[in-house]
Amino acid sequence: MSEVTEYKKILPEELYRKLDSFVEDLGIDSKDPRKKGYLIQVLHKAQSLFGYLPEEVQKFVARKLGVCHSEVSGVISFYNFFTTLPKGKVNISICMGTACFVRGSEKVLKEFENFLHIKSGGVTSDGKFSLDVLRCVGACGLAPVVMVGDRVYGNVNPKMVGDIMTDCIKLANSMEENK
């Protein structure tokens, strides 16, 4: 691996160190033909640290595990959970599972889109909020469901969007202060 060209890293070095020690702790044998089995686990960790998986992180993981960058990138693009774009500080997810769909989650999504002036999958220009849809959180009894971070809002209708956004703004502000 001596021929590898250096690549630019702009994300915090400290996070890279954390990821590095996480991989070290897994105790992967570089000659193990099954070492690729750790890839998804490492990517989960990387995304939880950085928030997203841009090219520089992909290259770091590829080099660390001794697999091709193209393979890492291929895995990331395949799975919905992984993202190569940063999300907002507060991420709002609308469940589009069948139960939620039947109970009107499309209208809820529209309302959020109107409120934030972004489409599903987008981030607001100030980087505070992002909006996406997910496929079933397994809370179909509460349909339609909206998730803000770890918090779950159940039986949501378009009229509740304003109140949920009030919570989101408070959350974003408190995150700002803690910084």
Q: Which is nearer to other proteins, 101 or 115 (CB)?
A: 101
Are 155 and 114 a contacting pair, CB within 8 Å?
A: no
Closest C-alpha to 134, from 164, 104, 95, 81: 95
Positive or negative, the CA dihedral 150, 154, 157, 162 is negative
Identify residues 89-108 at the interface with other proteins (CB under 8 A).
96-99, 101-103
Q: Specify the stretch interacting with other proteins by CB under 8 A; choose among 16-24, 55-63, 75-83, 122-130.
A: 75-83
* Least spacing, CB of residue 74 vs other proteins, in Å: 6
* Interface size with other proteins, residues (CB under 8 A): 33
Identify residues 124-153 at the interface with other proteins (CB under 8 A).
134-141, 143
Q: What counts of helices (H) and strands (E) characterise the chain?
A: 7, 4
* Least spacing, CB of residue 76 vs other proteins, in Å: 9
* Least spacing, CB of residue 2 vs other proteins, in Å: 25
Binding mask 19-38 for other proteins (x = CB under 8 A): ---------------x-xxx
Q: Which is nearer to other proteins, 28 or 123 (CB)?
A: 28
* Least spacing, CB of residue 82 vs other proteins, in Å: 6
CA separation for the pair 111, 155 (Å, rounded): 15
Identify residues 37-56 at the interface with other proteins (CB under 8 A).
37-41, 43-44
- Is 81 a residue that touches other proteins (CB under 8 A)? yes
| Buried b or exposed e, range 32-66, using 16+ CB within 10 angstroms | eeeeeebbeebbebbbebbbebeeebbbbbbebbe
129-134 vs 90-95, strand pairing mode: parallel
Q: What is the dihedral of CA 59, 64, 67, 72, to 10 degrees?
A: -40
Residues near other proteins (CB under 8 A) are 34, 36-41, 43-44, 71, 74-75, 78-82, 96-99, 101-103, 134-141, 143
